[in-house]
């Protein structure tokens, strides 16, 4: 029996982007694998105990996902959380740096969401490159330097204080990035 995948999503306030990504990841992972992952979220400057933003709910139809959003309470990022998860995904490059300030040993398993999605797309475009025994670290390691040289990592924009269209763009960006990310993780989490 294999252990469940353990993913921590990080944004600033832990009321919008990271809770959305955590719930969307869990929903996608469950629908494709039938397994329940261990997924959490935290914020680099999160107020303690705040609810998820109400504008997130319309983007979910699954009752379990909506219940998770309603149960969400923000929490501030701690080194312990980073150590407890096999993968840390941030919404911005600056948040990735803050994760690594707290836990430098997490370097090879910490990515921005858009960076990981681009890495996933690159790996998935060359499926013959995937070998038995490959891990996320080995797969991404072969491509990370090339992508860094190409530049354009990008951040998922924070919609807080913005218009409803900003929330729609955030949801679209996260959902699009998670599509390839989850496919890559399915390859290496066997």
Q: Would you state the pLDDT for residue 185?
A: 92
pLDDT at residue number 152: 56
The per-residue pLDDT of the chain, averaged, comes to 90
DSSP 126-188: -GGG--TT--HHHHHHHHHHHHHHH-----PPP-TTS-HHHHHHHHHHHHHHHHHHHHHHHHH
Among residues of the chain, what percentage have pLDDT more than 90?
73
Residues forming a β-bridge with 96: none
Task: Select 6-188's CATH number: 3.30.420.10, 3.40.50.300, 3.40.50.1110, 3.40.50.2300.
Answer: 3.40.50.2300
pLDDT of residue 148 exceeding 70: no
pLDDT digits (tens, 9 = 90+) for 110-132: 999 999 999 888 888 877 677 77
Q: What is the model's pTM? A: 0.93
Given pLDDT bands bounded at 50, 70 and 90, which one contains residue 145?
A: low
């Amino acid at each position: 029996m294999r252990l469940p995948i353990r993913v921590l999503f990080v944004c600033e306030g832990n009321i919008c982007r990271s809770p959305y990504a955590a719930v969307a990841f869990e929903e996608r992972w469950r629908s494709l694998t039938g397994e329940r992952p261990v997924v959490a979220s935290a914020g680099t400057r999160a107020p303690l105990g705040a609810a998820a933003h109400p504008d997130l709910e319309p983007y979910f139809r699954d009752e379990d996902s909506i219940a998770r959003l309603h149960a969400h309470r923000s929490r501030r990022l701690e080194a312990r959380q980073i150590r407890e998860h096999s993968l840390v995904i941030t919404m911005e490059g600056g948040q990735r740096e803050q994760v690594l300030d707290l836990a430098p040993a997490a370097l090879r398993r910490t990515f921005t969401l858009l960076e990981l999605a681009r890495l996933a797309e690159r790996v998935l475009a060359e499926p013959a490159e995937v070998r038995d025994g490959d891990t996320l670290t080995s797969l991404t390691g072969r491509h990370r330097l090339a992508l860094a040289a190409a530049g354009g990592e990008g951040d998922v924009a924070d919609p807080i204080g913005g218009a409803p269209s900003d929330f729609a763009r955030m949801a679209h960006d996260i959902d699009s990035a998670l599509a390839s990310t989850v496919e890559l993780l399915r390859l290496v989490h066997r």
